[in-house]
Amino acid sequence: MWRKRTLLLLIFLVSYLHLMVNNPVREIKTIGLEPLQKIAARQIDYADHIQFIYQPELRPLTIAKEELTVKAITPGPDDNFKQIAEQLTESDGFAIVQCSAMDSWHTSETGKAYLMKMYPRGYRIVVFDGGHHLPTLGLAPDILVVPQMCGYAVHSYMQDGMQIKKLKELAADLELSCVIAVLPRWAVFKQQQALESVTKIIIEKSDYNKNPAGVLNINTEYHMSKYNHRILLYIDQNYYRHTEVLLERIKGLGTDDVDKIYLAFDYKKINRQQAKDFAAWLGKELAVAIETVNEPVYVFNAFWGDRSVLSE
């Protein structure tokens, strides 16, 4: 009898965890997952788990790193990114940690304008947990915090994981100036204290360039950016369906000097064959080399080692 009860308890706990992590509904997470995250954030020694896979020197700011205001922007229903950016630019110096929503906001016209305004006064840190963050590589982030499971940067429910080795290859190919720090997936969760603690340690462990930083020059459209003769593009369901809008925006970035286009797909809405066909179509349409950099991987199929989606 005790074996059956133990098995039932394990099934319940796994089902509960799956619901809490895999369900993006704010109310469910508030009553279940967030209290546990706050406890965990106080217990984890993040310094023991950080691995730097790409480590150029951080650009200098006007104040010492010890004096920076570190602020993590976690997902919430009432996020006012414009107000957040305004408040930070009034400080002497800051490090802002961004998750998917605010990072994506910087590819909009308003978000781009505030990115330009924020850049001289602080560092921008992005939680890079899948292909939906691909365009941010062209938006001059200072630090990428990468939650890793089974060799992939993965999200809890978005099916667009990217291999860590591929991210490292992209950084080298693009000649990025951002620090890339990898941690176990279980150690990176979107809770303010946790993200701020990770960021402070990464900044403390990073070297600094003594030369003045150059002027920020950003070329972006929604869900896409252009950097060092490459275009970085996230294909969601809207771009997949409305190719005329996609092409117009790509051409708005300028394609005459583009050597390659990197694509990431939302595999929750687009399957592998559709992605393959779409990449072939886009390459023919623009006469540019195309490479897809992500896969239909997220926390649970990575955890269970699903060979149908994980690369060999």
pTM recorded for the entire structure: 0.88
Cα 50 from Cα 180, distance rounded (Å): 10
DSSP string, 10-73: HHHHHHHHHHHHH---HHHHHHHTHHHHHHHHHH--GGGT-EEEE-PPBPP-SS-GGGPEEEEE
Q: What is the pLDDT of residue 12?
A: 45
167 vs 85: CA distance, rounded Å: 28
Other beta carbons less than 10 A from residue 291's beta carbon: 14
Whether residue 145 contacts residue 98, with contact meaning beta carbons closer than 8 Å, is answered with no
Report in angstroms the alpha-carbon separations of 44 from 192, 200, 261.
14, 14, 39
How many whole angstroms separate alpha carbon 77 and alpha carbon 75? 7
Q: What was the pLDDT predicted at 46? A: 72
Nearest Cα to Cα of residue 103 among 208, 19, 222, 265: 222
Structure tokens at 272: 């592998």
**CB within 8 Å of 105: residues ≥ 6 apart:** 81, 111
Question: Backbone dihedral region of 211: left (phi > 0), alpha (psi from -120 to 50 degrees) or beta?
Answer: beta
- Map out the domains of the chain with their CATH numbers: 48-205 (no CATH), 219-296 (3.30.750)
Return per-residue pLDDT of the chain as tens, 312 residues: 445 445 444 544 544 454 455 545 555 555 555 666 665 555 576 778 899 999 999 999 988 888 999 999 998 766 799 999 999 988 889 999 999 999 999 999 999 999 999 999 999 999 999 999 999 999 999 999 999 999 999 999 999 999 999 999 999 999 999 999 999 998 888 888 899 999 999 999 998 888 877 789 999 999 999 999 999 999 999 999 999 999 999 999 999 999 999 999 999 999 999 999 999 999 999 999 999 999 999 998 998 888 788 886
